[in-house]
Structures are given as C-alpha cells and as structure tokens.
Amino acid sequence: MTLASDRRVADSAPKTWVDRMPARVRPFLRLARYDRPAGFWLLAIPCFQGIALAAVGNGLGLNDAYFALLFLVGAIAMRGAGCTYNDIVDRELDRQVARTRDRPLAAGTVTLRAAWLFILAQGLVGFVVLLQLPPLAIGIALGSLALVAAYPFMKRITWWPQAWLGLTFNWGALVAYTAMTGLIDAAGIALYASGFFWTLGYDTIYACQDMEDDALVGVRSTARALQPNLYLWLWGFYGASAALAGLAALLAGASPWFVIPFAIYAWHLFDQIRRVDPAFGDQCLGVFKSNQLTGLLLALALSVAAFI
C-alpha cells in the first residue's frame, strides 16, 4: 500500500520547545501533544465560555479567575491523557497514515506499558482538579469519561466521529457553568449545543488533511462523507453554532449591547469557510487552528455581557 508519505504532511509541526527537551522526555511530551497546543485551548475554551455565561449580568470576579485557572490545568491534563489513550487504541492505524506514523506509539519510541502509566499520571492531575469542584459539577464531569473512552472507536463505526468529538470536547462548558451556578438550565445546554456544532465544523475542516490516507485505510470522517457539499455543511454547522450561542446569551439575560462583540465573533467564525480549501492540507490546518481565537472571541463577548 502506498500512502502520501513523499509529500510534506501539513500536521508535521516545525521545531518547538519540545524538541529542546531531554531526549527521554520528548516522546511523552509528543504523546500528550504538548508540541501542538491548539487542542488544549479548544478543550479549555468551552470551560471559559461556561464561566462567562454564568456571570452574565453579574460581572466576573476573582472566584471566576480561580476556576478558569483550574479548568485550564484540568484541560491540559485531560487532553494529554485523552491523546495518549487515543494513540494506544489507534497505534496500528497511525502507522498507515502519513501524518501520524511518527507518533511515539506508532513509531515505537514509547512502550505500551509506559503509555498507560503516563495516562495514570495525567489522570491524577485531573482528579486533583476535579476535587476542587462542587458535587454536582463533579458528577457531570465524571459523565465525560464514557465519551472519552468511546471516541477513538467512532471513526471505525460511523461517518460522524467529529460529532462524537463535539459531544466530548465541549463537555467542559456544562461542567464550568454548573460549577458556577449550581444548576443545569436552558442557557447552559444551549451553550453546550453551540459548542457541539462548532467542533463539528472545525474538526471536519481538520479531517480534510487526511481524506486521501483515510480512504486508503478505511477510516471514516465527516470530511469524506460530506465532501461533495462540504461548504454547505460548514455553513450549516457554524450557523447553528452561532445561533445557539446567541440563544444561550439571551436566555442568560444578556444586554442588547452584547450584539457588538458577538458580531465580531460571528464574523471570525464564518470567515473560516471562505478560507477552507480541502486540496491544501496546510491551509485547512491553519483554519482549524484559528478556532482558538474564534472560541476566545465568544468567551470575550460573554464576558462583556457579564458587565453590561
């Protein structure tokens, strides 16, 4: 089987601080994707949005900043653990895909036993963070474990693994909102639903990098399934995301002035579609990474709504 190994792979990251670390440490840092921090932010940002939504009309304070820091630490730990687990499950597939064949487990630079111990260490950090939350938020957070455990298998059984990632990656919005308010209500659920469609859009864009190799090894994705009408689907995903984010703010009691920062967020969100070209993997990767700013713009818009 001949894969696209002779061309430059978009996600083959340039040199980072990870490459300057001791040789024994580098494979573990790569296993947890410390050389690709976009995923940490995309897991943490829904938490920031949940905190900001809970503060709409009441203002943000030091307690909110403390919880934002907690969720950032938790996102780094649990994203690293999730990536390690994903690579354990996918190590045979990763060897067959140009973009992933150099991952530590696929390349044999980390043993399976060491990878499981690394998951345990990262999970302990997440557990310490979890204990700082109120009981209801702890219960909701534990519910995400089933989503995380099932995620690596979704691309084998459905054309919509990006939808499962949407359910998983935005769970922090529910946890954070509940931690701050002590309840689950329509506003929090609307924000979670907004994040679901947001992730469905940006991870479809990300998956455009792998369509050729995925077809050869039998991996399914929304990028492959929706390719004939990709742009229409992206407009639908992002349209639903923006509408639900606006609904969440409305339900939380946001002032009409919220429209101004919200419009900036929406412009950045929809401008991604114009810049997507599935024929160029590096371009799709760049658009995917721009979602860090998209998510922060929504968190900022909600933060503004907290004070007006």
Name the residue ranges covered by the structural domains of the chain: 22-307
> What is the DSSP code (8-state) at residue 218?
T
Kindly list the distances between the CA atom of residue 113 and the CA atoms of 40, 82, 108, 227, in Å, as whole numbers in the listed order.
24, 16, 12, 39
Average pLDDT of the residues in 9-31: 80
Q: What local confidence, expressed as pLDDT, does residue 251 receive?
A: 97
Q: What is the mean pLDDT of the chain?
A: 92
Range in 93-102, 128-137, 178-187, 293-302 with the lowest mean pLDDT: 93-102
Q: Considering only residues 51 and 219, tell me which one the structure prediction assigns the higher pLDDT.
A: 51
CATH of 22-307, one of 1.10.357.140, 3.40.50.720, 3.40.50.10140, 3.40.190.10: 1.10.357.140
165 and 151 Cβ atoms separated by less than 8 Å: yes
Interhelix angle 186-207/171-181, nearest 10 degrees: 160
Q: What percent of the chain has pLDDT over 70?
A: 95
Average pLDDT of the residues in 191-207: 97
Average pLDDT of the residues in 11-21: 74
Q: Residue holding tokens 């949005």?
A: 49
Given a cut of 80, is residue 34 above it in pLDDT? yes
